[in-house]
Amino acid sequence: MALIKRRVLGKGTYGTVFFAESTDPDAPPIAIKSCLLHRSSSLRLEDRILTQLRGLPGIVQSFGSTTSIKNGAQYSICFLNMPLVEPWRT
């Protein structure tokens, strides 16, 4: 499944959250949280905690994480299933 980043939802100390859609039209949108690899210890910890809490009500679900290289910089990426409060199809 390929994902396309559509827009930035927010930026903070621990990274940037993007709204992303799959190339599969039946797949729901997800949030992708990313940060530079050398600053990723908090993001990796967040992913581990969310993985342990998977399935509990009210907890954001993590689909895992990976690393990526863009323009020569390494990024840590966490895939999140976050409820959207606005219409996502425009």
pLDDT reading at 8 higher than 90 = yes
CATH classification at residue 65:
3.30.200.20
Classify residue 76 by burial, with Cβ atoms within 10 Å: 0-12, 13-18, 19+: buried
Domain boundaries, position 56: 3-21+29-81
pLDDT digits (tens, 9 = 90+) for 26-64: 888 888 889 888 888 888 888 889 889 988 888 888 888
pTM score of the predicted model:
0.76
**Average pLDDT of the segment spanning 71-83:** 81
The answer to whether position 7 is within a domain reads yes
**Positions at the binding site for ATP:** 33
User: What is the mean pLDDT of the segment spanning 76-80?
Assistant: 82
